[in-house]
Amino acid sequence: MAELITYREAVAEGIAREMRRDPDVVCLGEDIGAAGGVFKTTVGLFDEFGAGRVWDTPISEQAIVGAAMGAAMTGMRPVAEIMFSDFLACCWDYLANEIPKVRYMTGGQVTVPLVVRTANGGGLGFGAQHSQSVENWALTVPGLKIVAPSTPADVVGLMASAIRSDDPVVFFEHKGLFASKGAPAPPDHVIPLGKAAVRRSGADVTVVALAATVPLALTAAEELARDGIDVEVIDLRCLIPLDMSTVLESVAKTSRLVVVEENPYQGGWGGTVVSVVAEEGFESLDAPIKRVAAANVPLPFADALEEKVIPTVDKLVAAVRTTVAY
């Protein structure tokens, strides 16, 4: 087996592969050039591609994403970095009103093939303004594709699809996964957007997860397996397009569903998943659906408090047990 690579290395690798094959791919963001990004997710790009394709920007989130949009409308494929996903709020106009709507409101006259990459999620003790999982923000806006990979190989394969997509993509990289390791992506690895992965197949209960809740769900599944509970773990990989076929098929088999999501319960993406299951998979269900999500409070700083708020293996194990015992 080839050497393992980290999730963080996979980000740079995924971008580099696309920059090699398509000269229209350019990167912009704060400190992404010679510095390699505050999370070191763009290390090597500046050396390989130079200042002409890897652009350091001022701290101007609106200018970063707005300029990416203008460039995307005129023939480029920009990859914009927003350092922490919390900062998407500073350029939210572009994600809420401009990028997802311009194709539609012009009657299809323009396309916006760009990627906004951003470090998302908690568990690292960064406090309330640097720890949020905000994938649900993007999910509130029709017109954005949303990717949130859980493994290094998926980072590369989904980055390829995101950059090649003629639609705008918000690409959430999970901060808690940056140091995690996995098999490197094979050459030309491309994972289509909107295809979930069944990470563990099981007969008793379906657990739907995304990004950092995927390894969490797999750990919980191992623990539950010791008690004879056979968990199927689905990694959605994308929120839009949303692979409901895979979820509905799984629920048809297991008759039980638990969703584990890091964004808050209020307005979290699990609400969309379970509403489709309630509408279209109701008859498959033998137990009420459960959602394990972040609590509806800002994220606290101290580990002991943060753990109370975000999903943990213990919380998921408890939720699955309740569902199975119903």
Partner 1 sequence: MRTLLDMYERMAVIRRTEKAAFDLFMAGLVKGTTHLASGHEAVAVGTAAALRPDDYVFATYRGHHHAMAMGASAEECLAELMSKATGVCRAKGGSMHLTKAANGMLGSYAIVGAHLPMAAGAAWSAKLRGTDQVAVAFFGDGATNIGAFHEALNLAAVWKLPVLFICENNFYMEYTPIGAVTAVPHPAADRAPAYSIPAVVIDGNDVTVVRDAVAQAVERARAGEGPTVIEAETYRHHGHSRTDPGAYRPKEEVERWLKHDPLDIARAHLEAQGITPDDVRRVDERAAAHVAAAVDAAKNAPDADPAEAFTDVWADGSATWRS
**Among 11, 27, 65, 95, interactor with partner 1 by CB under 8 A:** 65
Stretch that binds partner 1, among 10-18, 128-136, 164-172, 255-263 (CB under 8 A): 164-172
Comparing CB distances to partner 1, the nearer of 5 and 65 is 65
Q: Supply the minimum distance, in Å, between the C-beta of residue 55 and partner 1.
A: 8
> Nearest to residue 239, comparing CAs of 127, 291, 319, 162?
162
- Stretch binding partner 1 (CB under 8 A), from 36-44, 150-158, 162-170, 220-228: 162-170
Residue 292 φ/ψ region, left for φ over 0, alpha for ψ in the -120 to 50 degree band, beta for the rest: beta
Piece of the chain touching partner 1 by CB under 8 A; list 7-15, 40-48, 105-113, 223-231 = 105-113
Nearer to partner 1 by C-beta: 23 or 298? 23
Q: 50 burial class (0-12, 13-18, 19+ CB within 10 angstroms)? A: exposed
As a whole number of angstroms, the distance between CA 103 and CA 113 comes to 11
For residue 218 the two structure tokens come to: 């797999």
Residue 322 beta carbon to partner 1: minimum distance, rounded to whole angstroms: 28
CB of 174 within 8 A of CB of 121?
yes
- Strands of the sheet containing 145-147, edge to edge, are 54-56, 25-29, 77-84, 115-120, 169-174, 145-147, 238-240
* Span between the terminal Cα atoms of the chain, in Å: 43
Residue 174 appears among annotated catalytic residues: no
User: What DSSP state is assigned to residue 192?
Assistant: -
**List 20, 35, 48, 106, residue binding partner 1 (CB under 8 A):** 106
224 binds partner 1 (CB under 8 A): no
Residues taking part in catalysis: 130
Q: What residues line the site for partner 1 (CB under 8 A)?
A: 26, 52-53, 55, 57-58, 60, 62-63, 65-76, 78, 93-94, 97-98, 102-111, 113, 142-143, 165-167, 194, 240-246, 276
